[in-house]
Structure 1
Amino acid sequence: MNAAFPQNLNVRTMRNNAGQNQSQFWEPIGITQSGGSRYESGRSMPKPVAALVRLVHQLGIDISKVNADKASMIRLLLSDQIDPEVLAALRKLAATAQALEQAAASDAPPPDSQSAAA
C-alpha cells in the first residue's frame, strides 16, 4: 500500500470534522451524495477516489482549478528536475501565502504589517 494515499480513510469522521453534509463533502470530487454515503457505510473505496478525497479534504486542493498549464507545473514540482534553490523559494512563497490567507481569514494584520508597525 502506498503510504501517501492510505486506504483506511475514515471519510465520515473527516466529513463530520469539516462540518459538511454528504453533498458538500462529496460534490467537489465528483461523487454523488448516495455514492458517498455508501463509502461512509463501509463499501470499498477505489484508490483514485481515496486519492481525490485526500487531495481535496486533507490537502485543500481545489481540483476544479487544475487545468493543463497547472498540471504541467504540478508534474514539474513532483519531479526531481527542479533546482533545489528554486524549490526552496517556492516553499517559502507558499508558506507566506498561507500565512496571509490565515491572517485574512482571522481579520488579523499580515505578519509583515505587525513587524512594520513596531
Structure 2
Amino acid sequence: MPTAHKLKWLRRKLKENQTEFWSRFGVTQSQGSRFEQGMCMQSPLAILLTLYIESKVNDDDLMVARQDSRLQNERMAA
C-alpha cells in the first residue's frame, strides 16, 4: 500500500495540485488530501495507485477505463 509520504512525493514530482493528481483516480481533492495525511484508503484504490507508481498502469490506461465505465453506466441507464 502506498504511504502518505510516497503519494505526496509523486504528486509533487508530477508538479500537479491535488485536484489534478487525484482526479485521474476518481478521487476528490479533499479525499486525496486526507490520503496524503495518512488516512487509510480502500483496497481497490490502493492497488490502482500501486500499479500506477510501478508504471504498470499509465494515464492513458486510466482514461480508457473511465471512458469504458461511463459507456457501461449509460447502457445500464438506457
TM-score (norm 1): 0.45
CA distance in 2, matches of 1:47, 1:16: 23
Note the C-alpha offset of 1:16.
Answer: 0.8
> Cα gap change, 1:51/1:61 in structure 2, threshold over 3 Å: closer, same or farther?
farther
> Which residue is equivalent to 1:24?
20
Note the C-alpha offset of 1:46.
Answer: 1.7
Gaps of 5+ in 2: 70-78
1:47 corresponds, among 43, 50, 63, to 43
TM-score (norm 2): 0.65
Aligned residues: 62
Whichever of the two has the greater Rg, that structure is: 1
Paired residues of 2:35 and 2:41 also in contact (CA < 8 A): yes
Gaps of 5+ in 1: 1-6, 69-118
Query: Could you say which structure has the greater relative contact order, defined with CA pairs below 8 angstroms and 6 or more residues apart?
Result: 2
CA distance in 1, matches of 2:30, 2:49: 16
CA distance in 1, matches of 2:32, 2:19: 8
Secondary structure at 1:29 match in 2: coil
Instruction: Give yes or no for the alignment of 1:65 onto 2:64.
Output: yes
CA distance in 2, matches of 1:22, 1:57: 16
CA distance in 1, matches of 2:37, 2:29: 12
After superposition, what is the alpha-carbon deviation per residue over 1:20-53, rounded to whole angstroms, capped at 9, x for unaligned? 1000100011000000000000101222111222
CA RMSD across the alignment: 2.1
Q: Report % sequence identity.
A: 32
Note the C-alpha offset of 1:58.
Answer: 4.2
Note the C-alpha offset of 1:57.
Answer: 4.9
